[in-house]
Structure 1
Amino acid sequence: MATDPREYEKAMPIVAAHMAKIERAVDRTRASHAGQPCAAVHQALVEALQDEAAQRVVPQVIEELARQISETPASPPS
C-alpha cells in the first residue's frame, strides 16, 4: 500500500508539535526529579505530559523515560 507523500507532509507538523510537547515534559521532569525513585518520577512525568496536553504516549515509553530519569544523578544546585 503506497502512501501519498502529501499526507506525510501534512502530518509532519502535527507530529513535530506533539514531540516538542513530550520533550518539554521530559526536560521538566528530568530537571525536577532526576535521581528520585522511579514511582515518583513516573507520576511527575505523567503530570507533566498532562500539563503539555501530550497524554497520548505509549505506556511503555513513559515507563522507560521514568526509569532513565530515575537513574540519572541529580544535578547539583546552581
Structure 2
Amino acid sequence: MATDPSEYEKAMPIVAAHLAKIERAVDRTRASHSGHPYGEVHQALVEALEDEGAQRVVPQVVEELAQQISDAPAP
C-alpha cells in the first residue's frame, strides 16, 4: 500500500511540533529533577508533558525518560 508523498509533507510539521513539545518537557524536567527519586521525576515529567500539550506519549517512553532523568547525577 503506497502512501501519497504529499501526506507525508503535510504531517511532518505536526510531528515536528509535537516532538518539540516533548523535548521542552523533558529538558525542563531534567533541569529541575535530575537525580531525584523515580516516582517524583515521573510525576514531574507527566505534568510537564501535560503543560506542553504533549500528553500523547507512549507510556514506556515516559517511563524510560523518567528513569534516565532519575539516574542522572543531580546538577
TM superposition score normalised by structure 2: 0.99
2:39 is paired with a residue whose SS is helix
CA offsets 1:25-48 (integer angstroms, 9 cap, x no match): 000000000000000000000000
Name the residue aligned to 2:72: 72
CA offsets 1:2-53 (integer angstroms, 9 cap, x no match): 1100000000000000000000000000000000000000000000000000
Per-residue deviation, 1:74: 1.1
Name the residue aligned to 2:44: 44
Name the residue aligned to 2:25: 25
Moved over 2 A (4+): none
Q: How many residues align?
A: 75
2: distance between equivalents of 1:2 and 1:61? 29
Aligned-residue Cα RMSD (Å) equals 0.3
1: distance between equivalents of 2:52 and 2:41? 16
TM superposition score normalised by structure 1: 0.95
Unaligned runs of 5+ in 2: none
